[in-house]
Amino acid sequence: MTKLLVVAVALSILVLATEAFVGPSSIKTFTVDRSQKTVKSFPQGGFFTQHSIPLVGPMRAEADGKVEKTKLPFWLDPGTKGGAVFLSLALFLFPILVYSIMTTFFGFDEIETGKWIGIGFTVLATLGWVSTYLFRVATKDMTYAKQLKDYENAVIAKRLEELDEDEIQALQEEVERDAF
């Protein structure tokens, strides 16, 4: 009975915590132009902008405005609200389920089982999180690296626009000569 009460209270807290996801948005309306694969939004200020908004469902907008089709359903994709709620709930319930199985079916001591499941889950969750961070660092899939690359590309494009036709031709010839 007490386990049921604890689970009910935990689920109530989880439901209250998810209300933060449903708060008022700063964006009134957005449209997806699938022919050009861009997302256009109308902020509350009333002016038209074109930028990235994560789309709920099987589509997501990238930073450059292109829409990318995701392979995961919205309730499993951690980039969506449904995915965040589902994965949080699953990670909350998994140790409780393992504890119940270990004590009920295998007859392990409840105190020792709780201690080792708590330690094991904490260590595994921490290692999992650190490994995702290290993977993003190794593949340079971090916000700063993306912003730096976008800035460098913008600077190069601006400098290319400022060059004369003769300078562009000479630069192309130099690049072709270095390529061979």
- pTM metric for this prediction: 0.46
* pLDDT number for residue 98: 94
pLDDT score of 65: 52
Torsion of CA 143, 144, 150, 153, to 10 degrees: -150
- DSSP state string for 87-124: HHHHHHHHHHHHHHHHHHTS---HHHHHHHHHHHHHHH
Q: What is the pLDDT of residue 114?
A: 94
Query: 10 Å Cβ neighbour count for 142?
Result: 12
> What pLDDT does residue 126 have?
95
- Measure the CA dihedral 172/174/176/179, to 10°: -140
Q: Are 126 and 111 in contact (CB under 8 A)?
A: no
Taking 50 as the pLDDT cut, the residues of the chain under it are 20, 23-30, 36-39, 41-58, 61, 63
Q: What is the pLDDT of residue 89?
A: 93
> What does the pLDDT look like over 25-44, one tens digit per residue?
444 444 555 554 444 544 44
Token pair, residue 131, equals: 């490994």
